[in-house]
């Protein structure tokens, strides 16, 4: 049976969006926010983005997210339609306009429109979008308690030589195709390998494994995740050994624990890989310690930028 036969080809029309979206200098009601069909972001995936979240009235690690977004802009020679110095205020204004204390925040920049809908990146007018939604999670309900089942996919992560994964870009088609593989295998999430056969990421997540009491996260072929950085920080504070290195499929099959990290999901345990249980098939004690410390970090307002009233 083909992928297309197993996955619905259409969904019900979305309900009317509430809230406000900032698009190229204007704060628009969400259902009136539009960009051109000739935008390079749509035609070629020619754009970058960053995703942040707010909780307890604070945007977590706001400056770190802004700096990563700026790195993506520089790496792709992309500009903004506003001075970069105004970006922080635009995001804060958009969050405030939506009146949310628990929020999913996304900023998207594309190369924009060109005189003709061609691949030439010159003479384009850039696009900038900021939207805010009630907090969204990549993981399904209850997965923190049960853990995720995962599938190592034949679809590989785009290699460093083709497009550096440290650029948080709009080219996510290979991740979507990997998710189709996971869906067809009745798994919750996909795990992608790099060109050398090492496990690097899940779509939208960084990966961690625990072996012999040491927390390991991949050293290459991955996005420099802000939540990943925070896990490493927490391990240092808790005295949990942590290293950045290679993770082969073997390391997951024999791991004591594994978990994923993401801005849009937090820390989610992985309890099954390719149908095999990881250890006893339950979320482990190392993940629980790190997750509790991560939750407390958010509640305390540490690393938090207050949402304007």
Alpha carbon 153 to its chain centroid, in Å, reads 19
DSSP string, 41-62: HHHH--EEEEEEEEETTEEETH
pLDDT, tens digit, for every residue of 75-119? 999 999 999 999 999 999 999 999 999 999 999 999 999 999 999
Same domain, 121 and 150: no
Q: How far apart are CA 267 and CA 147, in angstroms?
A: 10
Residues 99 and 214 in one domain: no
Residue among 282, 293, 294, 162 nearest 225 (CA): 294
Residues 115 and 160 in one domain: no
Residue 8 lies in a domain: no
Distance CA 295, CA 53 (A): 13
CA dihedral for 77, 82, 86, 90, sign (positive or negative): negative
**Under 8 Å between Cβ of 229 and 65:** no
Measured CA to CA, the distance from residue 162 to residue 139 in angstroms comes to 29
If you write DSSP's letter for every residue of 83-130 in order, what string do you get? -GGGHHHHHHHHHHHHT-SSEEEEEEEEEEE-SSSSS--TT-EEEEEE
Q: Domain range holding 99?
A: 16-134
Number of separate domains in the chain: 2
Model confidence at 16: pLDDT above 80: no
pLDDT value of residue 24: 95
Based on the fold, state whether residues 51 and 179 are members of the same structural domain.
Answer: no
Nearest alpha carbon to residue 102 among 269, 247, 304, 275: 304
Out of 134, 166, 182, a domain closes at 134
- Condensed to tens digits (0 to 9), the pLDDT of residues 126-184 reads 999 999 999 877 666 678 999 999 999 999 999 888 999 999 999 999 999 999 999 99
Model pLDDT for residues 234-255, shown as the tens digit of each residue: 999 999 999 999 999 999 999 9
Q: What angle do CA 287, 268, 279 make, to 5 degrees?
A: 55
């Amino acid at each position: 049976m083909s992928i297309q036969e197993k996955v619905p080809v259409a969904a019900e029309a979305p309900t009317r969006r509430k809230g406000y979206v900032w698009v190229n200098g204007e704060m628009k009601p969400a259902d009136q926010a539009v960009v051109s069909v000739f935008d390079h972001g749509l035609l070629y995936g020619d754009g970058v983005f960053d995703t942040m979240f707010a909780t307890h009235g604070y945007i977590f690690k706001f400056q770190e997210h802004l700096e990563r977004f700026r790195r993506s802009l520089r790496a792709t020679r992309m500009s903004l339609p506003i001075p970069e110095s105004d970006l922080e205020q635009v995001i804060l204004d958009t969050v405030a306009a939506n009146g949310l204390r628990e929020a999913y925040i996304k900023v998207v920049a594309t190369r924009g429109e060109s005189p003709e809908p061609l691949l030439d990146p010159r003479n384009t007018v850039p696009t900038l979008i900021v939207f805010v939604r009630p907090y969204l999670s990549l993981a399904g309900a209850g997965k923190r308690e049960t853990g995720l089942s995962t599938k190592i996919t034949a679809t590989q992560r785009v290699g460093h030589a083709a497009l550096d994964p440290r650029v948080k870009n709009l080219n996510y088609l290979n991740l979507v195709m990997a998710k189709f593989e996971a869906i067809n295998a009745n798994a919750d999430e996909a795990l992608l390998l790099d060109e050398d056969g090492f496990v690097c990421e899940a779509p939208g997540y960084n990966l961690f494994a625990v072996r012999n009491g040491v927390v390991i996260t991949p050293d290459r072929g991955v996005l420099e995740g802000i939540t990943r950085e925070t896990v490493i920080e927490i391990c240092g504070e808790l005295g949990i050994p942590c290293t950045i290195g290679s993770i082969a499929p073997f390391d997951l099959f024999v791991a004591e624990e594994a978990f994923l990290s993401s801005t849009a999901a937090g820390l989610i345990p992985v309890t099954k890989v390719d149908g095999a249980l990881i250890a006893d098939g339950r979320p482990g004690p190392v993940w629980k310690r790190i997750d509790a410390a991560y939750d407390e970090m958010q509640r305390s307002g540490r690393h938090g930028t207050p949402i304007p009233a």
